Chains A and B, each alone.
Chain A
Amino acid sequence: MENHLKRLRAEHGWSQADLGERLGVSRQSVIAIETGRYDPSLPLAFRIAEVFDLAIEDVFVRPSKGE
């Protein structure tokens, strides 16, 4: 699933490890989600959106929509 994680992370000046720390997951997980290699569960996707103080659809691109 496409997402804006990399851009959002850069805007906040966070490294992948910083984001992982905030989410309580490994840097490896952040990389996998960021590159679209792994689609997070709904609870984790919500946690990611909350960390950026955004709605979930502002972080993840709806698969039916594409971009």
Chain B
Amino acid sequence: MQRHTARRRYNRDILIASAVYGASLILGSFWFRDHPGNAGVLAYAAALVPGLSIVAIFGVIGRYLVEEGDEYLRMLRIRQALIASAAALGLSTVWGFLENYGLAPHLAVFWVAVIWFAGFAAGALVNCVIERR
């Protein structure tokens, strides 16, 4: 069934990238606990892998949008991604101004991706609500 191939590949690759992310996050935190202050090649590798696995997830989503042959399902995923992008950009911009004027604590930039994924989940919810109308 060719029309299911894109979805199957999407599910498989999201699982793989998420597993790499989870594992690298745990292993990395242990490694940095045992090697405080280390800035060698291994330190960079341990710090980069979690971020790169998140980049891989964005890549998987992008490839799915290109490969999905069912235009309605593609539209649903695009709407989900737009909601996620609006949430991530909107909240990080507002937070940035608050932070700039000393009204909010500093937030590490990787939280933008976390907000994006929360927005992606919210987008799935919006799709469900619209589908049930």
Contact = CB atoms under 8 A, between A and B. Distances in A.
How big is the A interface, by class?
Answer: 10 to 19
Interface in A17-37: 24-26, 28-29, 32-33, 37
A25 B3 contact: yes
B51 interface: no
Interface stretch (A1-9, A38-46, A56-64): A38-46
Nearest to A40: B71
Contacts of B131: 28, 32, 37
Nearest to B7: A26
Contacts of A26: 3, 70, 72-73
B73 A29 contact: yes
A25 B4 CA distance: 9
A38 B3 contact: no
A41 B71 contact: yes
Interface of A: 24-26, 28-29, 32-33, 37-38, 40-41, 44
27 contacts: A24-B2, A24-B3, A24-B69, A24-B70, A25-B3, A25-B70, A25-B71, A25-B72, A26-B3, A26-B70, A26-B72, A26-B73, A28-B72, A28-B131, A29-B70, A29-B71, A29-B72, A29-B73, A32-B131, A33-B72, A37-B130, A37-B131, A37-B133, A38-B75, A40-B71, A41-B71, A44-B71
Interface of B: 2-3, 69-73, 75, 130-131, 133
